[in-house]
Structure formats: structure tokens, C-alpha cells
Structure 1
Amino acid sequence: MPESPPSTTPLLPTSLMQLATGFWSFKTYAGAIEIGLFNLLANGRELTVEEVSAGLGIAHRPADLLLAGCASLGLLDKSGTRYRNSAPAEEFLVEGRPYYFGGFVRYLDRREYPAWQHITEILRTNRPTTWTPGTQQSLFDTEDPQTLQLFWDCMYSISTFTARALAGVYDFTRHKRLLDVGGGAGAFPIELCRTFGHLSATVFDLPPVCDLARQKITDATLDDTIDVVPGDFLRDAELPPGHDAIILSMILHDWDEETGRTLLRKCRAALPPGGAVLICELLLNDERTGPPAAALMGMNMLVETEGGKNYSAAEYRSWLREAGFARVEVLPLEAAGANGVVVGYAS
């Protein structure tokens, strides 16, 4: 009996359709936050389409479609005719919660989404569109304080969970004092000093950012444990001394290779023998084919920075060795802000 020909699966454009319509999901998500849907459903409230329509002051049709869209994305649950926040939405998308994530979504929607519409121009000119090099000092030099506050709020939220992941894979009992370079509002020192009670730390960042860090540190009742030192890690010749661990979280991807190498040399000069620098990033694989989170963050650096890009662990390993670090190891992470930490140990 003759063999049947092997079955062939027809090539379909389904995956291309998903890529093409990805913005539908984002804008549904962003619109629900902006209009206050998750706040309306906070604290376990379960509402019908009609009640959501009245509560948000919108017509029945958009309320119905928004609820269906958010439920399809896992942002809402439904029982009978009533909708409620899903567990992640209740925890992270209700304003006022300790780890509110909605600020990040609003920042992307207001600042980065419009900029990405000019991606062809950016590819051709190799210049960011969210700010104007030559006129502004950096991407953080903005005339819109609300947008800047959204940025720092979202960075704090992401960094908090990245710090917790780091605490689970790296043993900080070997260190006494941390330096968080470009530490923002201090999420890493706050989380790590809470986890490792023997640790003390310093946040090193630009003066306006230090004010945010001081408030977060005070709110965490860690004023006696965490210091704040204003400075500029790009322009200052040296980093603050007296630390045996230095953290660079989502810092090096903002800059070109030479800037990154220079900063790592400063880190090595500031560390005693046995000290370590920890680079927390979304790392590309060595072939530079993924993962998507790292590769697409690199594209976002094209939109946001003059020279930034996402690098691989192999590239960081080379930089660290060139800077004088005797041993390098790579530890995997599972966090929104990083998929790995590259650790360089000073001899």
C-alpha cells in the first residue's frame, strides 16, 4: 500500500497579523487606565456594563467594548454579567497602591507612543525624537514635570521587582555597603537593605533625582541606613568611595559602548579587592537575535537616546575584563526590568 504524502501545514500570515495589530492591545490597556476603569472597579467591586457606563460617564457601546477588550487581555474577570479587576489589575493598576504600574503605561502612551510613530525618520537619521540633542542636555531635560514624574514613578515600580529578583539570585551577605549608580528614587537600596538587614547603601544620582530618593527612603524609614549623594556619573572623575558593591541597573543601555566602558573603569577604581559590580539589564543573546524584550528595548533606545542600545552578556563580559575585573559570572533573572545580572569581581 503506497504511503500517504506527508501533510503540510499551509503558511499563514497569522503571526504577522498579531504583530501588525499589537498596538490595539496597548491602546486598549492605556485607554482603560487613563479613563479610570481599574480605579472604578477597585476593592473587589463587580459592575455590569450599564454601571461601568454610568460610572465612567461614557456610552454603553464603548463601555461594552472596553470591558470585553480588557477581559480578553486578562485585565478583568467576569462573573455572569459583572466585571471585576483581575488580580494583577487590582494589585498594580489601581492608583494609590504601593506598586502602581499605571504610571509606566501612561508614560509610554504620552511620550513614547507618539515618538515611535516617527520610527522611519529615526532609522534614517539615527537621532531620538522624544527630545532634541543640542537644545536639551538629556532625555530627562523636559519642560513637562508631570511626564517626568510619571517616568520616575514607573522606574521605581519596575526597579522594585527587579531588586527582589536580584536578591533571590545573588548573595549580598558577602557585602557591607552598596552604591547604586544612577539609582533614581532608590528602589534597589530600599529593597535590598530590607532583605539583607546588615547592609547599608548610597544612592548616587543627579541633584533633582536625589530629592525623590530622599522622600522614598524616608517613607521606608531607612534614613539611618541609606544615604543620598548628588553627582553626575558621566562627568564626575570618580564615584563615591567606601562601597564594596556597585549596582548599575538599566543604566548601561542608555549609552554607547565607550561611555559604558568608561563607567565600568570608574566602578573598578572605586571598589576594594573582593568588591563587585552588578549589571542588571535585559540582555541580548550572544547571536543578537533575541529575546524580544531585550531586542525591542534596544529599538526603544534608538527612539530615546543618542547612542544607547541593549548589549549581550558576552559584550559586558569583555568590557568588565578590559576594566580590570578578574572574574565575571552571569546569573539569570526573571523580572520586568532585567533578564540577567552580569557580575564583575575585583581581584
Structure 2
Amino acid sequence: MSFPIIRHRRLRGSSAIRNLIRETQLHVHDLVHPMFVIYGSGIKREIPSMPGVYQYSLDRLDEELREVAELGIQAVLLFGLPEHKDETGTGAYEEEGIIQQATRRIKQLYPDLLVIADTCLCEYTSHGHCGVVHHIGGRAEIDNDPSLELLARTAVSQAKAGADIIAPSNMMDGYVQAIRTALDAQGFEHVPIMAYSVKYASAFYGPFRDAAQSAPQFGDRKTYQMDPANLREALREAESDVREGADFLMVKPALAYLDVIRALKENFDLPLVAYNVSAEYSMVKAAAQNGWIDERGIVMEMLIGMKRAGADIILTYFAKDAARWLKE
């Protein structure tokens, strides 16, 4: 055989060598665990389309939190299911709203656990949209600027309850600036904003809408969430959020948008978050339950792919599973 020969396999010859030169590392501190909190007592209700994911009442939160803490996961993302819904999503910004109560409970039990509060209206509105609906000439439209007032009010109420990070997911124009201004005016300059900067109008959200009971009651969210075909628009959205004061940028979903994650990584220097969303979770769970795939292998490969694409942080319903596997 003539030379020079490049023998790439020399660096794959043993587990120790492969570990030594591994370019992308996944750590438990990269993971955020989403949680669904509901009113009532004694409730731990599995979500049918998301095996292994539950809705918890406040009095049973400790079961989940203890496990999260023992696994070394440092942050949770809270979604709330209100007792009542109305046109303006009052439950999102009430002092005794479900997220506000859950945040205080978590901070009482595990003060060092980071609480990230989802800041949106869709779980709380009777119409299921992420903003205020106005009817014009028989047509319903999402009114951007009045929605900002309610989102800012929600963010302040969450910060007052003790949320460490505000995570607005509504995709209204100007939402970061509105929330930043409101937080600063109330003395919460230290509370960062994890902006859902690039959130696509995706088919991958179906199981989440079951879990959060947040499906729109009419139409869709395509006038405010992004067209899955667009990448340059994602850069414009992210740039706006950076200028308005975002502290993190997020891409949602993650799996079908790794190119978008890479593009944001190359263009911005803020911490970058990938949201491994509900259908990405449910598809793997369903295939694994049927014996078609190796769940652990698939999950860890997906998460590494998100890290390799540029994600610094991964929100994932696999957080507990991944944390266990990383310990082994």
C-alpha cells in the first residue's frame, strides 16, 4: 500500500482514546427539566401522549423535585394549568396563579434549584392563543400591543414569586423590550430573560398541547409563530431580541432545526437554548415501547447532535433519563 496513508482509525481504537478526543460533551448541567403543575391535591396524572411525563398538584411536587435534585439537574421549566380560563388569561398573572404558587413552593423546598417560568397566555386564555384576541369585521386577530401589557404583567408576577429566569414563549413583536422594561421598573433588573426567539409554527407541539390544554380554539398560530421554511427570518427575530435585551436565545423545536441552531451560534454570542419538544419525545418513546429502536442510544445521539449544532442548554423531557445515563 502506498503512502502517505491517513489512518483515522488510530484515534478510534479504544474507549479511552475515543473519550480523550471527544469533541462534544453532554453534561447534566446542560439539561433543563420541564414540569406541568396543576391545581388540586394528590394529583400525579400521566399525560397519555407523553409516557413518563406527569401533571403534578402542588402537594406532590416534592416527589419530582427530589428526583430532579438527586440527579444533579439544576433547573426546571414550569408550565401551569389554571383553574379557570378567560379571554385575557387572567390566571397567568394572578398573585396566586398556579405558576406563582409552584415557584414559591419550589423555592421553599429547593432554594438552589433554578426556576424558569414559561411566560405566555395560551394555557390561560379561553381561546388558546398567546395574546389578546380582537374581532374585526367578523374576523378574529391577535392584537400584538395589548398582549404585551399582559405578558409584561405576567413576567413581573412570576419574578415577584421568585422565578430565577423569565422565559417568554409568545412570539409577539416587541415582547422582550416590554418585559425587560417592566421587570426593571419593578426592581428585577437581575432577572434574566430566556427568549423563545425562534419558535416555529410546528407540528411537533401536539402532545404538549394535550399536556398543557393549550390548543387554539380557532385558527392556528401561523401569524405569530414562524414558517418552518424560513432561516433568514430566524436571524432577524433573534437580532431583535438581542437588541431588546434578551439574555438567552432559544430555538424551538430542536431536532428538525439543527441548521437554525448552528446559524444562531455563528451569528450571536448569547447562550443558546434548544427545546427538544414534546413530539420529538413522544416519537422516540412510542418507537421504543414497540421495540423498534434503542431508546437510550437514540436519545443520547439526539442530545449530542443538538450540542454539536451549537446549543449550550437543552430543554428536554428526557432530562431525567439522560441524567441517569450520564451517571453510568
What TM-score comes out, normalization by structure 2 length?
A: 0.29
Higher share in strand: 2
The answer to which structure, 1 or 2, has the higher relative contact order (CA under 8 A, 6+ apart) is 2
Higher alpha-carbon Rg:
1
